[in-house]
Structure 1
Amino acid sequence: MAASQRLQTAMLAAAATLAVAPVAYFAWTRFVRRSERLQALKLLHKVELIVAEVGVRLLYLANQAEDAVGNDERSAAEAPESTLNSYYHFDSHGNKLRTKWDSYDVDAELQRLEEEEEGEKNKGNDRDEVSALAKSKAAERKPTFVAIDKKQLLSAVAGIEREFEAVLEFLDDVRGDDDVKKLRKAIALKINEDHFGRVDYVRRLLAV
């Protein structure tokens, strides 16, 4: 009788152990998944910071590219016009039009300048001083531009583009629940639409 009771007790204990095992396994699996989710989110937040830092460097390069293009445009605007166009004009067929220079009397003009020179000798020094002062002021007003190497800018932009591509490749290997997938998608969208768009913008600027 006692042996039968002991056997029954042992069977009940074994049954209880078997019943608890699936629950314990489920709890352990849930704990692992939760830990993996937290680790994935933490990792993605670090990736976000990296992408933001690289984005700031890209924005700085875009500003430099705009300055380089602006310098080129200002330099072109300050270039002197062709001396040929200053004296001659042409019609739509390429024929030179007559101007006042075609009937210009060189000998008479030289005679007039010699006569004026005699009366202007005493004022010559004053004019020289005024002219020198005017040139000095003009030199002070003339803006100076810092030369920016477009090839170096293009090389730097290409390097940043490769950094973003490496991040996208890394994101492909990150797995997790819906929250992880949502954050991963947001980071990838930021790179593809904003940062790659700015990379293309800089390249278009520097191609001018």
Structure 2
Amino acid sequence: MPALDYHFDSTGKKLKSKWDSYDVDAELDKVDDDTSAPRRPTSSPDQLRRKVGELEHEFEAILAYLDTVRGDEEVRIVRKQLVGAINDTYLVTLDRLKGQLA
């Protein structure tokens, strides 16, 4: 709230300021409306199923590419770790999501 500085004319009459007619409750209502979290758009189950299918396809493509990678023992170990992470984490998660969307 602004400081209560009053201004008077030469006859001693208090001059009106914008704060004399300020509606605090209306301003608070306006602020409350602005602070509500915006609704995030939701996807339909069909859209989600399609996205899960696209992700699954991408991971399958990565796995196919990793099968072509050749190299020394260090490369083989890293390739095996990547394949394991995809199979054990990402594809399992996608399967769980597909089950929930069914």
Q: Please classify the TM superposition score into its range, dividing by the shorter chain length.
A: 0.5 to 0.7
Which residue does 1:200 correspond to in 2? 95
Normalized against structure 2, the TM-score is what? Answer: 0.58
Which residue does 1:172 correspond to in 2? 67
Deviation at 1:149, TM superposition (A): 0.2
Change (3 A) 1:171 1:149: same
Query: What does 1:143-182 align with in structure 2 at a 5 Å threshold?
Result: 147-182=42-77
Which residue identity is paired with 1:164?
F
Q: Which runs of 5 or more residues in structure 2 are unaligned?
A: 1-38
Q: How far apart in 2 are the matches of 1:184 and 1:195?
A: 16
Q: How far apart in 2 are the matches of 1:161 and 1:150?
A: 16
Normalized against structure 1, the TM-score is what? Answer: 0.29
More helix by share: 1
Q: How far apart in 2 are the matches of 1:145 and 1:181?
A: 43
Which residue identity is paired with 1:204?
G
Query: What does 1:54-65 align with in structure 2 at a 5 Å threshold?
Result: none
SS of alignment partner, residue 175 of structure 1: coil
Q: Write out per-residue CA displacement over residues 144-194 of structure 1, whole angstroms, 9 at most, x where no aligned residue.
A: 896530000000000000100001111111111110000000000000110
Change (3 A) 1:168 1:145: closer
Q: How far apart in 2 are the matches of 1:165 and 1:180?
A: 20
Q: How far apart in 2 are the matches of 1:188 and 1:158?
A: 19
Number of residue-to-residue matches in the alignment: 64
Deviation at 1:204, TM superposition (A): 1.1
Q: Cα RMSD over matched residues?
A: 1.7
Q: How far apart in 2 are the matches of 1:188 and 1:170?
A: 10
2:79 pairs with one of 155, 172, 184: 184
Q: How far apart in 1 are the matches of 2:58 and 2:42?
A: 27
Q: How far apart in 2 are the matches of 1:175 and 1:201?
A: 32
Q: How far apart in 1 are the matches of 2:40 and 2:76?
A: 48
